[in-house]
Every structure is written in structure tokens, then in C-alpha cells.
Amino acid sequence: MANTKVPEAAHPFYFKYDTIKGYFMQSEDDTDSSKFDFRKQNFGLIDREYGTEEAGVDEAKLHWQSFEKYVESLNEKSEEGVQYKVLFLGRHGQGWHNVAETKYGTAAWDCYWSLLDGADGITWSDALLTDLGQDQARDVNELWKSLLPKGIPAPETYYVSPLTRTIETADLSFKGLELPEDRPYAPIGKELLREALGVHTCDRRSTASHIRSAFPHVALEPGFSEEDPLWEADYREPRSARKYRLAQFLDDIFEHDDGAFLSLTSHSGAIASVLEAIGHRTFALQTGGVIPVFVKAERVNGKREAPPKEPSEAPPACSSPPPAWSSSS
């Protein structure tokens, strides 16, 4: 198996995922991810007709409400084992580990600095958000605040990676919003929603006791262990294993969550793996970025095929700091 510390799903089925194009600009091949700003583009919702429009609906609410009804109608008419969900994939705001990688350069970061808990007055083990990262999350909060009166459906469930920076991001993104009573912000910490596992201390989570103390409003999923069971100091999870893990996470929520609109606050690598697992085009997110995806899932009998265990994705560790090398070079 790709990572022996990630348990295989017990049930004898999985889901085949497809991205439904034509609804969000980010899913279209001609959208330039380096220039696209979801905050200025209504989260990327394409202005189109759905066949579910109702007369007399406020024009400002028409598009989101019609889209929500369209998704509901697809689920009502779908065959057994087929379902549709809209996932709001949010990347955490800038963390101190992002600052450190920029400071030291990617090559030096990967082979030396990322193995430490911090240096030069910066701590990045289970990194916290910077002031900029907090502002990026608040920008998302302002976007939701502006769109909720215009009919955007609030998430029915809020899933978060249990890393500090992702919980902080979700809190700043959703706390204080006027959400429907049946859709309160009640985040659920999911172990499999984490960034690539191993080597980098910024991706090693804190203990369950610390998370519960610092974030008592976060419900950690059943079986959440006190110590981090997945992080290894000398093995960095390869991309194939990360995709398999995130596909398992999707299988879990598609099997157990009846909601059609879900929020997932995670990390750049994890989100890239989710996009790969659902057949979505590559779409780079800046820190604090959010991408909605419209997904069709079809239940398939049998077990999801696990990739073979591959060598660690991290380069060999350096015994001393190498010369700085910029990731933009």
C-alpha cells in the first residue's frame, strides 16, 4: 500500500468521480489560474440558465438559487449509487512556513530548514497564520457575507484539516456570518484532509488534547488519536499516495454526508490531489484561495486500488544549511 499508516477503507466499494464542467469558470480550460480572482467573480459561478429559474425571484439571488435547485433536482432524479455535490475547496491563508520557504529558498527549505521546528525567530512546526494569512481568510469571510444575501447556499458541513493554520483559516472565513439555523459553522476535523505527510514539521499536527483545548468548537472525527499517527520524520508522502489518501477522504464524505454543498478547508497539495481525484483540471491556488467544484460521484463495487509504495518525495536531508535558492529562480 502507498502508506501503511493510512488505513484502507473497510467497505467493499468506492466512488468514481467526474467534474461537471460548464458551471464554474475555474473548471474551464481557458481560465488562467494565475490571473483569476474568485473574489471578483462571484466564486466563479458562470452566468447561465438551469431550467430551474422561478418567476419573481430577486435578480441578485437568481443565479445561485437556480443553481442550488438544479443540483437538488439532479440528486432527486439520479440513479441509485449516483450523487452530486458542490465542494468549496479552501486553501489556508499564508502561514509562517510559507514565509520561511520564501526566506530560505525552496531547495534549502526542502532539504534542511523544513526538518526543523523553526529558526531565526520563526516557528513553523504546525504553523500558525501570519497577519497576512489572517487577512486573506477575512477576505473570504467578506465574500461570503456579500453573497449570502444574494442566495449562495451556505455549506451544510464544514470539514477542516486538523492543522492549526487550516482551523484558523476556517474560523476567520466562517465565524460571524449570518448562516441559516440548520447550517451553522460547526467544523469537523478530518485526519485524511491534511497536507502531504512526513518530513516537514509544518505538516505534523499537534496532539488531540492541544487541538481540543485551543479549538473546543472543532469536533474531531471518531477515532482521532492523541498523537499524530501519520507523520514520519524520514518519509515524505509521494503524490500518488497523497491522491489515494484524498480519494479515500472523498469516499468517506460521499458515503456518509447527505449534504450537497460542503466546505473543505485544507492545503495546496491536498487540494491539488482532490482536483486530480475528481478529474478536474490543474488549478493553482494562492494562499487563502477558494475553488468551488461541481462533482458527480458513481458508486463502484470493489476496493479502490492502492498505488505501490514509492520512495520518499523529499530530497536527502542536508547536514548543514545549503546556500539560499529562490523558488522563483
Catalytic residue ranges: 92, 195
Which residue's C-alpha cell is 485526519? 191
The three state secondary structure string of 38-55 is HHHCHHHECCCCCCCCCC
Cα gap 133→128, rounded to integer Å: 9
Cα gap 310→237, rounded to integer Å: 9
Neighbours of 229 (CB within 10 A): 14
Among 242, 243, 244, 206, CA closest to 225? 206
The three state secondary structure string of 135-165 is HHHHHHHHHHHHHHHHCCCCCCEEEECCCHH
